[in-house]
A and B are shown apart, each in its own frame.
Chain A
Amino acid sequence: MSPQFEIPATSTTKFNLGHQTEFLRSQVKSLSFSYNPKDKVILKNVSLPIFDKKVTALIGPSGCGKTTLLRCFNRMHDLYNEVSYDGEILLYPESKNILSRDVDPMEVRMRIGMVFQKPNPFPKTIYENVAYGLRVRGIKKKSYMDEKIELSLQHAGLWSEVKDRLHAQATSLSGGQQQRLCIARALVTDPEILLLDEPTSALDPISTSHIEELIVELKKDVTILIVTHNLHQAARCSDYTAFMYLGDLIEYGPSNQIFTNPSDKRTENYITGRFG
């Protein structure tokens, strides 16, 4: 089953999507992924464009490979088992294949930030949490760091809540605040793409709506790729949606189209709650 979306043959960074012109930030090209030894293929020939400064949502039932795909974007799989990537994820403007063996995973992770399912602040101060991305890069200048940290905490909508206690332990924050802290921590280094892996699944409804508002706000500056189980969330926050099922990309398109007029029967069944 080939996705509805046609991938351009050349790695052009700009093309027309019917109604408007979009810029490509990244593109997944016929990616297959499996853990070695190749007993189970988790992603099968997935192709997907990621448009610049748009929110792309990955939806699908558990075990469909959406988180696996997300984690490919910053080579998280490389930390654990022997893995084999087949295919490419190109990062524009320079069309670099970030899955290539010649590309250092550390470089990829510095360009593509990630926020995890469960808030995972370091057991350090709020300031040190946000500062860590800068410290990793060897930045030591205090004034620059202070400025960047304030900016990214503001971006993450957390500044007003923590500005008086930047040196308190990050673990003293509430779950929703911790998750926004993790977003600020990822934003401080100006990532080209921000990966969100079910960022609200461990949060209460109010914190969830905070984060959703934040996502809409953030896409002015950064390209976002989000995995979510919450279909309403995908419909509310995303511009494009990809539906995955058993390692295949079934359907991709503008979110309003996917959620109102899906062309594949399986997509329709999933979004109407008949399975998954």
Chain B
Amino acid sequence: MEDIMSNAQTKIMRETVREMDLTANLKWRRTKDFLFAVTGLMTLLFAICVLLALFIDLAMTGVPRISAEFFMNFPSRFPEKAGILSAWVGSLAVMITTAFVAIPVGVAAGIYLEEYAPKNIFTKIIELNIINLAGVPSITFGLMALGLFVYKLKFGQSILTAGMTLGLLVLPIVIVTTREAIRTIPNSIREASYGLGASHWQTIQHHVLPYSSGGILTGVIISLSRAIGETAPLITVGALTFIAFLPTAPVSDVFPFVSFQWLHDAFTVMPIQMFNWVSRPQTEFHVNAAATGTVLLIMTLLMNGIAIFIRYRFRRRMKW
């Protein structure tokens, strides 16, 4: 009895669906589709336009000021004589130190978490904290560095302190990208390696690291391009805003020919130099600041471009 009832019902419903006007609904659905696409495109264009306007404005003011002397001169009281020599050398020195801190620690931590760490509650807590660490305001790192590196460990207001601070700041990025790069390697490759009698470390050394190096390198470059623009933590640890000398040369003609004295020297970096010039009343200095900003932006774009290129190259080479 029930069967007959439900059969009849189905039949009625089928008839009603067939009799519906399909086109009316269709039109509205198409319109909604279109509306969403247009809204999305507008939002995207707006964001890009704002960025582009900022960049063009900066470049229009700054580019005419960029010349060989601008890179070769120390900052000066006279805006037309002032340059960013100490700033870009300082940025370079700090970046090198940052890389030496962040790469070994970050990659090792990423490998440990991905390959060795037992899957338990402690590992989960650590993972969560690393992700949180990436979102901690950078000035907090500055305060921590001031207390730890400057006062406790007595590294002074030096390149070493700055490099270690920024190294810690970008560490979560390096760890997360390392883990992501390692995770893209299929398990079948690991099994192939283990199947031939390789140890865990041999598998990591011969397969996991080489195959993920593209992704890791990309992460490192992106983290350095973030570090190069950081200002707040460096002001906190005491970067100077006016430096009219260069750090000690790392190589010399007397034994032992290499010196790490530069690590202990005072420094400034490009964003701080920029900040310093912007905060002056004379408009000529603002031009200098715009020029520095342009240089900084171009460097960041260049670094990110290299990262994308490396990722593309490695993706093409690594087929599983």
Contact = CB atoms under 8 A, between A and B. Distances in A.
Interface of A: 74, 76, 79, 106-107, 109-110, 113-114, 116, 118, 120-123, 132-133, 135-137, 169, 171, 182, 185-186, 189
A263 to B, nearest CB: 35
Contacts of B189: 120, 122-123
Given A118-B188, A123-B318, A123-B320, A106 B199 contact: yes
B202 A116 contact: no
A107 B198 CA distance: 9
B211 interface: yes
Contacts of B206: 132, 135
A196 to B, nearest CB: 12
A74 B198 contact: no
Contacts of A79: 190-191, 194
B29 to A, nearest CB: 41
B191, B192, B196 pick with most chain A CB within 10 angstroms: B196
A113 B195 contact: yes
B211 A123 contact: yes
A109 B191 contact: no
B197 interface: yes
A122 B197 contact: no
B207 A122 contact: yes
A109 B191 CA distance: 11
B194 A109 contact: yes
Contact of A136 (B186, B190, B197): B197
Given A122-B207, A123-B317, A171-B319, A137 B197 contact: yes
Contact of B191 (A76, A106, A110, A123): A76
Given A76-B191, A106-B199, A132-B196, 5 more contacts: A79-B190, A106-B197, A116-B191, A122-B193, A123-B318
B319 A123 contact: yes
A120 B191 contact: yes
Interface string B1-13: 0000000000000
A185 B207 CA distance: 15
Contact of B192 (A106, A110, A122, A171): A122
B188 A109 contact: no
Contacts of B211: 123
A135 B196 CA distance: 10
B191 to A, nearest CB: 6
A76 B196 CA distance: 11
